[in-house]
Amino acid sequence: MIILVVNAGSSSLKFQLYQMKDETVLAKGKVERIGMESAILHFEPAGKQEIREVREILEHTTAFRKVMDILVHPVHGILQSVDQIEAVGHRVVHGGESFSGSVLVDEEVKREIKRLFDLAPLHNPAHILGIQAVEANMPDIPQAVVFDTAFHQTMPPTSYLYPIPMVLYKKHKIRRYGFHGMSHAYVSERAAAFLGRPLKELKLVTCHIGNGASCAAILGGRSMDTSMGMTPLEGLMMGTRSGDIDPAIVPVTMSKEDLTLAEVSSMLNRHSGLMAISGIGSDMREIEQAIKTGDRNASLAFEMYEYRLRKYIGAYAAAMNGLDAVVFTAGVGENSAMLRAAVCRNLSFLGIELDEQANERKESGEREITAPESKVKALVIPTNEELVIARDTYRLILHRNDVE
Ligand SMILES: Nc1ncnc2c1ncn2[C@@H]1O[C@H](COP(=O)(O)OP(=O)(O)O)[C@@H](O)[C@H]1O
Ligand SMILES: CC(=O)OP(=O)(O)O
Ligand SMILES: [Mg+2]
């Protein structure tokens, strides 16, 4: 069965084409800068030459049609016809309390995802565009949605409630949901396999640090707590998001700078984090480069980013009353040896002994970066959210076929 996995962001559409159940990746790619005249389409068909095109792509339906076109392109394509695709699986960031697992898309599911727009303003609207783009281009194909929030539905109320009037939870479901759940689930399973120990016995802190960043306390394979909250704004300092701040900063900034709520929200989501402190950008590669040239603001941004992450790791070790391993994943976690080194060097009191050489090695697979005698392990485990989506979609379609 051929399954297309779609991860629609506000200005991007990432995709992977899987042959299931073998889990072979037939092709992958992304459309970036949707909405601009110079959108970029990047396509990597397995065993064929990569393609990069710059062209005008103004909205998600067009982006999706371009993806369909390239998949069946006579030279670069990988399919004879789009009819070979039997299902589409989407990443959906916010599933609220309604979804503790993946589901097939119907009108009710779409309504619920729309109802949650306010809680994931950067993400959920784009997912609906992705679903609608599939409907417009392939009207009869079944679609599944896999939620970032689902894995964290095991959190106890002590973790998911905020100490604010209970009526806000009861009336409006204001609570911690947590995100990047597929990634936290995937890397914790892989970490247990890597360590050769049952996941049920392990206390892990998983650090998904990419553009968005969150860490999670994984006790016996279940999410016990996580740093993102009601929205993906809380917790760690990120590329452009502030993470934790004193909530009183919101009204004070509104009044002192004469800003609207929407403007402050945009400031915290899009103009904060590494970008705001460094004054350079949101990409950790740019920050590292600038540190090498002696840029003090870049150093400060890096130090704050590392310090805030390390505080969470310490907090989660305390929350679980112990720690077996810290897992680094996603763009920064998998690639920034400098960030991992800074975190691990300063956690020696927990029993983490970094192997500096192993950490610096330019490898891409699953690996340990602590010394053999290190009491607590530090691992780098590449995440694979697309594979989790492909697996869940495949399982849901098989189940649906069994029932019919
Ligand atoms: N070689 C690298 N060194 C340091 N940071 C990197 C490297 N490669 C990627 N990154 C970081 O990873 C981020 C993207 O992470 P990723 O997990 O792909 O994010 P997302 O899926 O949210 O778009 C980039 O913004 C950059 O900061
Ligand atoms: C939930 C979230 O922050 O996702 P991303 O890292 O893709 O922005
Ligand atoms: Mg991501």
What mean pLDDT, rounded, does the chain reach? 95
In the chain, % of residues over pLDDT 70: 100
pLDDT at site 363: 84
334 CA to centre of ligand 1 in angstroms? 8
Hey, where are the domains in the chain?
Answer: 2-147, 197-385
Ligand number nearest CA of 213 is 2
The answer on pLDDT for 303 being more than 80 is yes
Confidence of residue 12 (pLDDT cuts 50, 70, 90): confident
The answer on pLDDT for 377 being more than 80 is yes
Ligand 2 binding pocket includes 212 (Cβ within 6 Å): yes
pLDDT at site 157: 98
Establish whether domains 2-147 and 197-385 are of one fold: yes
pLDDT 10s digits, 262-288 = 999 999 999 999 999 999 999 999 999
pLDDT at site 403: 81
Cα angle at 265 between 263 and 266, to 5 degrees? 65
35 is in an annotated binding site: no
Ligand 2 binding pocket includes 180 (Cβ within 6 Å): yes
Ligand 1 binding pocket includes 284 (Cβ within 6 Å): yes
What number does the ligand 1 atom closest to the CA of 209 have?
17
pTM for this entry? 0.94
Largest Cα–Cα distance of the chain, in whole Å?
64
365 is in an annotated binding site: no
212 is in an annotated binding site: yes
330 CA to centre of ligand 3 in angstroms? 7
pLDDT 10s digits, 23-78 = 999 999 999 888 888 889 999 999 888 999 898 988 888 998 899 999 999 888 99
* Residue labelled with tokens 């004469």: 258
349 CA to centre of ligand 2 in angstroms? 31
Q: Which fold would CATH assign to domain 197-385?
A: Nucleotidyltransferase; domain 5 (3.30.420)
209 is in an annotated binding site: yes
Residue from 93, 230, 241 to probe ligand 2 pocket by mutation (most atoms less than 8 Å from CB): 93
Query: Does 148 participate in catalysis according to the annotation?
Result: yes
Ligand number nearest CA of 214 is 2
pLDDT 10s digits, 114-163 = 999 988 887 899 999 999 999 988 888 999 999 999 999 999 999 999 99
N-to-C CA span, the chain: 17
Ligand 2 binding pocket includes 12 (Cβ within 6 Å): no
Using CB atoms within 10 A of its CB, is residue 145 exposed (0-12), middle (13-18) or buried (19+)?
buried
Instruction: Provide CB contacts within 8 A for 380, sequence distance 6+.
Output: 327, 328, 329, 333, 334, 340, 366, 367, 369
Write the residue with the smallest CA distance to atom 2 of ligand 1: 335
Confidence of residue 8 (pLDDT cuts 50, 70, 90): confident
pLDDT at site 401: 86
In angstroms and rounded to an integer, the radius of gyration of the C-alpha atoms of the chain is 21
212 CA to centre of ligand 2 in angstroms? 4
Looking at domain 2-147, which CATH architecture does it have?
A: 2-Layer Sandwich (3.30)
pLDDT at site 38: 86
Write the residue with the smallest CA distance to atom 18 of ligand 1: 331
The predicted complex's ipTM stands at: 0.97
pLDDT at site 120: 86
291 CA to centre of ligand 1 in angstroms? 17
331 is in an annotated binding site: yes
Evaluate whether 184 touches 206 at the Cβ level (below 8 Å): yes
